[in-house]
Structure 1
Amino acid sequence: MDSHSLTTRGAVMAVSGKRVAFLLTKGVEQVELTSPREALEGAGATTVIVSPSEGTLQAMQGDWDHGDVFDVDVPLGEAGAGDYDLLVLPGGTLNADALRQDDRAVELVKDFFAAGIPVAAICHAPWILADAGLAEGRTLTSYASLETDLRNAGADWRDEEVVIDGNLITSRNPGDLDAFNAAIVQALQDTEA
């Protein structure tokens, strides 16, 4: 058996039985949902879409082109941080802007931080951290256009493909997905069983 098989098997064993919430709504950047989901499920985790959208939601490819439609697994009002081992916040301008204005979404993100559960945000998703009062004193990254907003919210913003600050993992854009995916799988492996 080669070392890749051992590593993969170890990852599957380490995250088997772990549950991951993806918090998103209409306008989510499709690849920022599908790529991390595939990485986590490939490692043995169970993923669920939590959303204020009812029934289904429309993903986007960039800001203008419609992507696929996805089923909502858990309504936002029924989701609790204690039910999950990791929270992933995919980007997409429309998605991120809508979620940061949704009090229930902001409260759920705060609950994950309060519980010390890992939170991973990519692209425009870190916007919600500013609205939740969670960016202050944190080192993070995001889509470049959010730099000023996040610095104004007290964050130490970095232009790096992945930034890990305690239980917070952030990346800039879809070009960083390989590093982002590796970091979130590792964070899930590091959580206690």
Structure 2
Amino acid sequence: MADSKKIAFLTAGEGIERVELTEPWKAVQDAGFEPVLLSPESGEVQTFDHLDKSTTQKVDEQVKDASVDDFAALVLPGGVANPDALRTDKDAVFFVKTFVDSGKPVAAICHAPWTLIEADVLRDKRLTSWPSLQTDIRNAGGDWVDEQVVVDGNLITSRKPDDLQAFDEALVKAVEG
């Protein structure tokens, strides 16, 4: 089991697919871990139900001030706009790369692997995502497969909200050791 009971959830300020944040959040809470929302900016983030605005959630800490050492795992929720914005933030990309390199679990769903691509951590990794990312993943050196959940080393990936139960189970299993 990890030293820390905290799980980092990293998102941009908007465009986050609500259930891809809230369902894993609840799963790690139910397993006795403390979810912490990181974002490039302070304040609140805007979640979406596909293309419609949904709820907001308070940011706990700016990613530039966060340390990988303080967390047992990292979760990257999807949504199209969220990872697209996140991969343009140098502090977020550095945090993701450092987290993957640490060997601690990193879980990404839907479009979230865009940030992993930007962090250049997919070479020789087997993973899945929303199908439109498969060419991007292959171009980044990854082996894209169409499966509900894929675990390759410390990387956990899933395709879409319909895969959340398997994604959450793989995440909790990884952080519990």
TM-score by length of 2: 0.96
CA 60–189 in structure 1, closer or farther in 2 if over 3 Å, else same: same
**Closer, same or farther: CA 17–117 of 1 in aligned 2, 3 Å:** closer
- Where does structure 2 lack aligned partners over 5 or more consecutive residues? none
Q: Among 117, 121, 125, which residue is 2:108 paired with?
A: 121
SS of the aligned residue for 2:124 comes to coil
2:47 to 59, 71, 74: 59
Is the 1:90–1:125 Cα contact (8 Å) retained in structure 2? Answer: yes
8 Å Cα contact 2:4-2:70 kept in structure 1: no
TM superposition shift of 1:95:
0.3
Check conservation: 1:16, 1:43, Cα contact below 8 A: no
Q: Identify which of 57, 70, 73 aligns with 1:83.
A: 70
C-alpha distance after superposition, 1:79-132 (max 9, x if no partner): 111110000000011101001111111100011112111100000000111111
- Distance in 2, Cα, partners of 1:138 & 1:98: 23
Check conservation: 1:17, 1:44, Cα contact below 8 A: no
Percent of counterpart pairs with the same letter? 49
Conserved? CA contact 1:31–1:174, under 8 Å: yes
Deviation string, structure 1 residues 41-85 (Cα, Å, up to 9, x no partner): 0110000000013211111111x2001010000111111111100
Is the contact made by 2:2 and 2:72 (CA closer than 8 Å) also made in structure 1?
no
TM-score by length of 1: 0.88
Partner of 1:39: 27
CA distance in 1 between partners of 2:175 and 2:118 (Å): 25
Decide which structure has greater helix share.
1
Alignment size in residue pairs: 176
Of 30, 34, 38, 1:50 maps to 38
Please report the RMSD computed on the Cα atoms of aligned residues, expressed in angstroms: 1.3
Quick one: which amino acid aligns to residue 37 of structure 2?
Answer: I
Larger radius of gyration: 1
Determine helix, strand or coil for the equivalent of 1:159. Answer: coil
Deviates more, 1:116-125 or 1:50-59: 50-59
- 1:159 aligns with 146
Q: Which of 144, 148, 156 is the matching residue for 1:169?
A: 156
Secondary structure in structure 2 of the residue aligned to 1:20? strand
Q: Matched residue of 2:23: which SS?
A: helix
After superposition, where does 1:90-169 map in structure 2 within 5 Å?
90-169=77-156
Deviation at 1:17, TM superposition (A): 5.8
Q: Is the 8 A contact 1:15 1:44 kept in 2?
A: no
Unaligned runs of 5+ in 1: 1-13
